[in-house]
Amino acid sequence: MKTYQSRKDVPNEEKWDLTDLFANEEAWQEKLDECSKLADKLKEYDGKITDGSSLLHYLKTQEELSFHIRKVFAYTMFLSDIDTRDSHAQKLSSKTTKLGVKVSESTSFFMPFLLSLEEETLRSYLSEEKELEYFEDELWKSFRFKDHVLTKEKEELLSQLSESFQAPGDTFNMLNNADIQFGEVTNEAGERVQLTRGMYSKLIEDENRDVRKEAYKAYYKPYVELNNTIATTLAAEVKTNATMAKVRNYDSAIHKALFSDNIDLTVYTQLIDAAKKHIEPLHQYARLRKEKLGVDELRQYDLNAPIVSGVKAEIPYDEAYDKMIEALKPLGTDYVERLKEFKEKRYIDVRETPAKRSGAYNMGVYGVHPFVLLNHHDDLNSLFTLVHEMGHALHSHYSSKHQPQITANYRIFVAEVASTVNEILLIHYMLNQTTDTKMRAYLLNHFIEQFRGTFFTQVMFADFEKQTHERAEAGEPLDAESLNELYEELFRTYNGPDIVFDDEVKYGWSRIPHFYRAFYVYQYATGFASAIQIASRILEQKEGALESYLTFLQSGSSDDPLELLKRAGVDLTTSEPVEAAMKTFSELVDELNQL
């Protein structure tokens, strides 16, 4: 594995070329100043949009600002991410942040104004200016919220209280990220060191069970000690969601959360019902895990330990890229050519260097191209990460190429589909290529773990969110005891009777930041199930499967997410996609059992 002590040592072809955004810092500063002037211009429209012409000019100016500010923000973000210690990059980022605040203040009047209009008035504005056709769909999407907007006085009051409404999440984030200190554990050198989150993610996968247990106990210790405090923050968050839904005339908190994407509640409930109905293969996998680990009792700290060891193939970056191209050939010639272009034109920042942001991401910049950040380690996990992020990147590329700016960004609901399709195609390619039994078992297990983490665990979280909000809406108590009992019951339902529970299991809910962004996590599971069905259709070469998928990648947010997925052959208003995914999971577990 290649390691670099300095960014200067990384070959240029493995680093971003940020001149695609701005030739130099002076050009960036000029664009920043231009954006500031555009923000001032937008503020002048407050109270002065009285006809179709003034509405059109406001929207065109806003879109122009949006186009430029995305580039301005991306430039400073990328500079900061390649070296988080760079004080000059931080200084530029603070300028971007100030600009963002200014833009938010300058445009804050518009949505209340739009939703204060009568429908007839908006229609008259649209009829006055033909160019408003470009903005019409987005205006009507926003106008859907009219029934959930209150009087001007009440909206102003809620706006003044908005910081208070954020307090439960802010408090949890401060506790979770700043105040919580984990206990000490023994590192590989036999030294006692303070446990960190990054360290925990590695230790909980260690082959030594004593190491896993010690890390597990240390990690959960502060959550156990702060159980009542965190229960109070989550209860406040849930009750706030329930209250705001009622105040804004929604049937429930979950209806409010699903409204913006026009998602029917049955999509959510069918997901949970189907997962529970087909949960037995996951329980079977737990029994297999217990057998392979050779433990008398399977415990939570055994669930991430490797059951297929000794597979540590070194795959240099160039070889990994070639493997990806071979694996993704079923997506067609143009897709493959675009993949090659990303590497050749330096759209990817490849190597881990000191103080570089951890993890990986894709960020599309409309009018330029997507940028991908990696921390590539020349191993199997890095290959899967590469393939995953390039799925996001090609989704961004095709949407930007085929959509106008207003609909180029795809919604969160469909965001994980393209990345997961790529991973599935890679696994199938590697399974077909390998003759090594251990490697085959490793790949099957990798896929099963993806299912467990991205599908079953997220459905369990979604179930927990649904039940906690229902209890709040029914006036039932949400305290530490009731939250612990609910989570423990759900954990047993989903993970099966073969796991022996340590006391820490029931506190698992208290460490999940996603619960402060209600009804978000279910989208990971629906996206995963959708990707399973799409990849299967492509691999089986079903008529129109590839064409409909490529059309989906080109569609951005040009329609509601459910409609876009239907065109790709996935109808989440029925239980079929989830049922099909459950069938795939069962087959994977069966084959791994046989191996």
192: phi then psi, degrees, rounded to nearest 5: -85, 120
Whether 340 and 364 have beta carbons less than 8 Å apart is answered as no
* Residue 152, pLDDT score: 72
Whether 526 and 496 have beta carbons less than 8 Å apart is answered as no
Cα–Cα–Cα angle for 354, 375, 401, rounded to 5 degrees: 125
Q: Please report the sign of the dihedral spanned by the C-alpha atoms of residue 391, residue 388, residue 281, residue 535.
A: positive
List the chain pLDDT tens, one digit each, 595 residues. 677 889 999 999 999 999 999 999 999 999 999 999 999 999 999 999 999 999 999 999 999 999 999 999 999 999 999 998 999 999 999 999 999 989 988 998 899 899 999 999 999 999 999 999 999 999 999 999 999 988 778 887 887 888 889 899 999 988 988 889 898 998 777 889 889 887 898 899 999 999 999 999 999 999 999 999 999 999 999 999 999 999 999 999 999 999 999 999 999 999 999 999 999 999 999 999 999 999 999 999 999 999 987 777 789 999 999 999 999 999 999 999 999 999 999 999 999 999 898 889 999 999 999 999 999 999 888 999 999 999 999 999 999 999 999 999 999 999 999 999 999 999 999 999 999 999 999 999 999 999 999 999 999 999 999 999 999 999 999 999 999 999 999 999 999 999 999 999 999 999 999 999 999 999 999 999 999 999 999 999 999 999 999 999 999 999 999 999 999 999 999 999 999 999 999 999 999 999 8
Whether 516 and 169 have beta carbons less than 8 Å apart is answered as yes
462: phi then psi, degrees, rounded to nearest 5: -65, -40
Whether 534 and 549 have beta carbons less than 8 Å apart is answered as yes
Secondary structure of residue 193 in the 3-state scheme: strand
* Residue 432, pLDDT score: 95
Q: In angstroms, rounded to a whole number, what is the distance separating the alpha carbons of residues 556 and 413?
A: 12
In words, the CATH class of domain 7-149 is: mainly alpha
Cα–Cα–Cα angle for 478, 483, 484, rounded to 5 degrees: 150
Whether 324 and 384 have beta carbons less than 8 Å apart is answered as no
* Residue 183, pLDDT score: 85
Radius of gyration of the chain (CA): 25
Secondary structure of residue 23 in the 3-state scheme: coil
Q: Please report the sign of the dihedral spanned by the C-alpha atoms of residue 435, residue 437, residue 442, residue 448.
A: positive
Cα–Cα–Cα angle for 222, 172, 102, rounded to 5 degrees: 150
* Residue 201, pLDDT score: 86
Strands (E), 243-383: 348-351, 361-364, 370-376
HSE (side-chain half, CA atoms, 13 Å) at 299 = 17
- Tokens 């997961």: give the residue: 420
* Residue 1, pLDDT score: 61
Query: How many CB atoms neighbour CB 201 within 10 A?
Result: 12
Catalytic residue IDs: 389
Written as one string, the DSSP assignment of 388-457 is HHHHHHHHHHHHHHHS-GGG-SPPGGGTTHHHHHHHHHHHHHHHHH---HHHHHHHHHHHHHHIIIIIIH
